[in-house]
Amino acid sequence: MTTEPIKQRATQAGLAHGSLLSAVSLSRQLQGQWIWQGISFDAFQGDRIAVVGPSGAGKSLLLRALAGLDPIQAGRIIFDGQPMERQFMPRYRSQVIYLHQRPALTEGTVEENLQQVYRLAIHRDRTYDRNQILHYLKLLGRTADFLQRPSAVLSGGEAQIVAFLRALQLSPRILLLDEPTASLDIETARRLEALVQAWRAENLQRAYLWTSHDPTQIQRITDRQITLNGGG
């Protein structure tokens, strides 16, 4: 695994050689303090990137900024050759998906939560694929019965699984994974890791960025690191 110096400039050469997502001199301020400054990197097709650093270094804030959910005070984010400000954001957020530790679900069954996304205008030309979901559930060691469970009785780990399924069914290009296995037992965490690898293997133009406090997990499922030290 390699560690990437985050201060180096994301270059036009990077874009020309298949860069999927580029961060160019990103800076973020919170309550008058710089969380990070001048962050630049390229995420290429097929990349498996760890975002690491101490608590408070702004790992979640970086992922949220890349997803277009939080503001930045300086810099640019470029996806598929186009800056974020030129993107149609509903489509962008379906292709660059942020998954956090405490996903929000609506009332109803697991399957109803998965189907609900297709009621959004941006996804009305797409169809819910139950067979694909059953395939993903199999990788997670779950049966079709899981789809009929009410969301209100799900554990934190089970809600995390639903959030994963809800995201993967949209075939995103990039996953931004913020401590995605923190609520899971060891076996389920390993199965979820395998699911993410299977998703990536389906299309090598995909990539992910992953935060974790578990260095052994980072070693298993990423190839290079972006290290945040806090304060820029």
Say if residue 29's pLDDT is above 70: yes
59 Cβ neighbours under 8 A, 6+ residues apart: 51, 52, 53, 178, 211, 228
Is residue 73 a part of any domain in this protein?
no
How many residues are present in the chain? 232
Cα angle 180, 140, 146 (rounded to 5 degrees) comes to 100
Dihedral angle over CA of 197, 198, 199, 200, nearest 10:
50
pTM of the model: 0.89
| CA pair distance 117, 5, nearest whole angstrom | 38
Is residue 175 a part of any domain in this protein?
yes
Is residue 22 a part of any domain in this protein?
no
Give residue 191's identity as a one-letter amino acid code: R
| CA pair distance 167, 231, nearest whole angstrom | 32
Q: What is the pLDDT of residue 1?
A: 56
Is residue 82 a part of any domain in this protein?
no
Query: Looking at the 3D structure of the chain, how many domains does it have?
Result: 1
Is residue 80 a part of any domain in this protein?
no
DSSP track, 198-230 = HHHHH-TT-EEEEE-S-HHHHHHH-SEEEE--S
DSSP track, 81-99 = TEEGGGS-HHHHHHHEEEE
Give the model confidence (pLDDT) of 106-153 as tens digits.
999 999 999 999 999 999 889 999 999 999 999 999 999 999 999 999
| Residue 101 DSSP label | S
Q: Helices 130-139 & 156-168, crossing angle to 10 degrees? A: 130
| Residue 109 DSSP label | B
Question: Domain containing 55 — which CATH number?
Answer: 3.40.50.300
Exposed/middle/buried for residue 44 (C-beta within 10 Å: 0-12, 13-18, 19+): middle
Q: 159 lies in which domain range? A: 46-64+88-227
Residue 204 pLDDT level (bands cut at 50, 70, 90): confident
Share of the chain above pLDDT 70, in %: 91
